[in-house]
Amino acid sequence: MDKSKMGRPTNNPKNNRITVRLDNDTFNKLNKYCERENINYTDAIRNLIKTLDK
């Protein structure tokens, strides 16, 4: 039996992981943004990083 992880196939694998520590003010801003946009923290951070290309 194959012991590799099975998951949803993707054309854009997420191979890189980062960890950040946020002060309360920054965390509250992120949380409010996520609530307003109805998205999770990961999607919020990805969206905000994409704005760096503009």
Tens of pLDDT along 1-54?
Answer: 556 677 788 898 889 999 999 999 999 999 999 999 999 999 999 999 999 987
At 9 the pLDDT is 83
Range(s) of the domain holding residue 43: 24-53
Domain count across the chain? 1
* Overall pTM > 0.85: no
In a domain, 30, yes or no: yes
In a domain, 41, yes or no: yes
Distance, in Å, from the CA atom of 36 to the CA atom of 31, rounded to the nearest integer, reads: 9
In a domain, 36, yes or no: yes
In a domain, 19, yes or no: no
At 53 the pLDDT is 85
In a domain, 7, yes or no: no
In a domain, 31, yes or no: yes
- Tokens encoding 2: 């194959």
At 4 the pLDDT is 67
**Side-chain-facing half-sphere of 30: CA atoms under 13 Å:** 17
H or E segment at 25? helix 24-37
